[in-house]
Chains A and B, each alone.
Chain A
Amino acid sequence: MNAMAATAHHIGTTAPASPLLLAVDGVTVDFDGFKALNGFSLTLDRGTLRVLIGPNGAGKSTLCDTIIGRVRATSGRVIFKDQDITHLPEHEIVRRGICRKFQTPGVLPGLSVVDNLMIAARRDRRWWSTFRHGVAAEEKARVAEILETIGLADRAAAPAGQLAHGEKQWLEIGMVVATRADLLLLDEPTAGMGPAETSQTAALIRRLVGQHTVLVIDHDMSFLEQLDARVTVMHQGQFLKEGSVAAIRADADVAAVYLGRTKGDTHG
């Protein structure tokens, strides 16, 4: 787990004062009168894994968008590492240590797999540094390792656009990890994957926890069981419940909001 060790080393330079990494504080997002998030709050401690579920349209993706700066909160604040990042530009938020995997795979289709990862792994992301020659050996080693981990080492030179859907998902997870972000937001990382790939993804995510703090959004109950983390349930832009996978599965309120469409999923 060299990649993980490397990450731990970098984090080690900024000794965490408190275990609290992220605090979403009463955030409301108003789309022309429709409140996709309605006074939603959430806190994440360093090195933990959290799963966020909720029916379609509950506001899960909007929460990620708000944390990363793609959508701006109408009211409320996002605090990351004790600093208010609510109004920072997107790239500035990312540089502080948050990276997000999008719901639809966001790889760069025209670039090779390895170039996708190299761009993500780059530590100095200021424009003038891109004129300098050479790649840090550490970045190269990290990319080579991630290529192995996500099983795409033999496709490194292929254009990312030619990958199968599941492979794109893995590449994007690899890119998010390559950034060494402290907080990883993974929006439906197993969409389009079969059961075997889903288990592999769960194993990968569990290995990331500790060095990274991970927030996973997913609907797939068997995936959630394999992750075995605390679950937060949201509904109509609001907090509904929080608890272990078992407790959430047994919860009547949660069953009620899922009733009809995803009842089969929720009850295994």
Chain B
Amino acid sequence: MDMSMRKETPLPGLLPGVALGRPLALSLAVVALAALAPWLVSAYELNLLARFLAMALLAMGLVLVWGQGGVLSLGQGVFFGLGGYAIAMHMKLAALADGDLPDFMVWSGLDALPWWWVPFKSPLVAILGVVLVPGALAALFSWAVFRRRVGGVYFALITQALALAFATLLISQQPSTGGFNGLTDFQTLMGVELGTPAAAHGLYWLTLALVVGVFVALRALMASRYGLLLRAIRDGENRIRFLGYDPTPFKVVAFTIGAVLAGLAGALFTLHAGVVSPALVGVVPSIEMVIWVAVGGRNSLAGAVAGTLAVNLAKDGVSSAFPDLWLYALGLVFVLVVTLLPGGLAGLVADAGATPWGKRLKSFIVGGSK
């Protein structure tokens, strides 16, 4: 214990380096395969895949917010909806001659465009709005709440109330929001004809590129000192406070990034699906979003993408065959995951990797260096 004996002590875990080599090659192969999807699957399947990948953006945001930050949000549908409506409003307006109103406004007897619609005539405002509106709302809201040290279940309940209020508002303001039916019937986006195979492929690739970019960026963020502190706050908010850090801004940043990704997801989903409506943004869809991530593994970005794809594929299968069964099936899946698989699919893979066969497979993939 002689402090004057200064030794070079290695500091493991200080700066987790990005492991390159075969894992990188494997990831590139997966991405390349996904990029070839337009030639491998039908147009219908490609559209499904595109929607699911859009949702995966939101799911990766939840990994940061819920998995790393320990903040359970049951209101991601709100930010998803804000992004979706922002782009949808623009497309409704872009299809009109000057001075005309969207069809549903005419039917409900409006004779002028509501003021908050006007800026969305500009494509730039709409695209910025997709990320800035959810981002600004999330930052203000979460700052006000976290500053008062409200967290955990109370925070989850407040966000759920937000989702309920948002969906209710959309439905009740039918003349200016399209009500229960939402906004649909889009023709063009920035001069590009939607609905052609070329547009579908382009939008698919755009979504895939964003998924890859966000994956890489969030991975770096989680490996950074910010990520370390976010996890530290999750594990002991008070301890961190008494080490001289203010936990509030760390959580606000995570929540805001989560909301921005949800907005982006909502806009892309709206483009792929050709519709945005209150049914996509309320309490139940918001819970479903959490379930995608619970199934995939809330601390794993790859798990969140896989969970989103798996749950939504299952939803597509189950709900087309037995429409009434889906919610029961989803509830069952959630209970099973929470009780049997707290780490989700990612945890399952990690456990499998710890078995003798898994270790052999892993050493093959990693290159046998360990």
Question: A182-211 interface mask toward B, CB cutoff 8 Å, 1 = contact, 0 = none?
Answer: 000000000000000000100110010000
Known: A1-B4, A111-B228, A133-B224. A140 touches B14 (CB 8 A): yes
A109-B236, A112-B12, A133-B224 known, 16 other contacts, Cβ within 8 Å: A90-B241, A99-B244, A107-B236, A107-B239, A108-B232, A114-B11, A118-B228, A122-B225, A125-B244, A127-B229, A127-B249, A130-B228, A149-B1, A153-B9, A156-B11, A204-B1
Indicate which residue in A68, A109, A135 contacts B242 across the interface (CB closer than 8 Å).
A68
- For the complex, would chain A's binding face be called helix, strand, loop or mixed by DSSP majority? helix
* Interface residue ranges of B242-260 to A (CB < 8 Å): 242-246, 249-250, 253
User: At the interface, yes or no: B6 with Cβ under 8 Å from chain A?
Assistant: yes
A144 and B7 contacting across the interface, CB-CB below 8 Å: yes
User: At the interface, yes or no: A18 with Cβ under 8 Å from chain B?
Assistant: no
Indicate which residue in B5, B225, B234, B239 contacts A148 across the interface (CB closer than 8 Å).
B5
User: At the interface, yes or no: A157 with Cβ under 8 Å from chain B?
Assistant: yes
Chain A residues contacting B249 (CB-CB under 8 Å) are: 127-128
Complex Cα spacing A204 to B2, Å: 11
> What bracket does the count of chain A residues touching chain B fall in?
35 or more
Question: A105-122 interface mask toward B, CB cutoff 8 Å, 1 = contact, 0 = none?
Answer: 011111110110011101
User: At the interface, yes or no: B231 with Cβ under 8 Å from chain A?
Assistant: yes
A91 and B244 contacting across the interface, CB-CB below 8 Å: yes
By beta carbon, the residue of chain B nearest A91 is B246
Task: List 30 A–B pairs whose Cβ atoms lie within 8 Å, in order of A's numbering.
Answer: A1-B4, A4-B3, A68-B242, A70-B238, A90-B241, A94-B244, A102-B239, A106-B238, A111-B231, A111-B235, A115-B13, A118-B14, A119-B243, A127-B229, A127-B249, A130-B224, A130-B228, A131-B224, A134-B15, A135-B14, A140-B14, A141-B6, A144-B8, A148-B1, A148-B5, A148-B9, A157-B13, A179-B244, A200-B1, A204-B1
By beta carbon, the residue of chain A nearest B221 is A131
By beta carbon, the residue of chain B nearest A203 is B1
Complex Cα spacing A143 to B8, Å: 11
User: At the interface, yes or no: A3 with Cβ under 8 Å from chain B?
Assistant: yes
Known: A94-B242, A133-B224. A145 touches B6 (CB 8 A): yes
* Interface residue ranges of A133-166 to B (CB < 8 Å): 133-135, 140-141, 143-145, 147-149, 151, 153, 156-157
B245 and A91 contacting across the interface, CB-CB below 8 Å: yes
User: At the interface, yes or no: B330 with Cβ under 8 Å from chain A?
Assistant: no
Chain B residues contacting A141 (CB-CB under 8 Å) are: 6
Complex Cα spacing A68 to B242, Å: 8
B242 and A130 contacting across the interface, CB-CB below 8 Å: no
A114 and B224 contacting across the interface, CB-CB below 8 Å: no
- For the complex, would chain B's binding face be called helix, strand, loop or mixed by DSSP majority? loop
B241 and A91 contacting across the interface, CB-CB below 8 Å: yes
User: At the interface, yes or no: A95 with Cβ under 8 Å from chain B?
Assistant: yes
Known: A130-B229, A145-B3. A100 touches B242 (CB 8 A): yes
A2 and B253 contacting across the interface, CB-CB below 8 Å: no
A143 and B235 contacting across the interface, CB-CB below 8 Å: no
A127 and B250 contacting across the interface, CB-CB below 8 Å: yes
A135 and B15 contacting across the interface, CB-CB below 8 Å: yes
A156 and B228 contacting across the interface, CB-CB below 8 Å: no
By beta carbon, the residue of chain B nearest A106 is B239
Chain B residues contacting A2 (CB-CB under 8 Å) are: 3-4, 6
User: At the interface, yes or no: A89 with Cβ under 8 Å from chain B?
Assistant: yes
User: At the interface, yes or no: A217 with Cβ under 8 Å from chain B?
Assistant: no
Chain A residues contacting B242 (CB-CB under 8 Å) are: 68, 70, 90-91, 94, 99-100, 102, 106
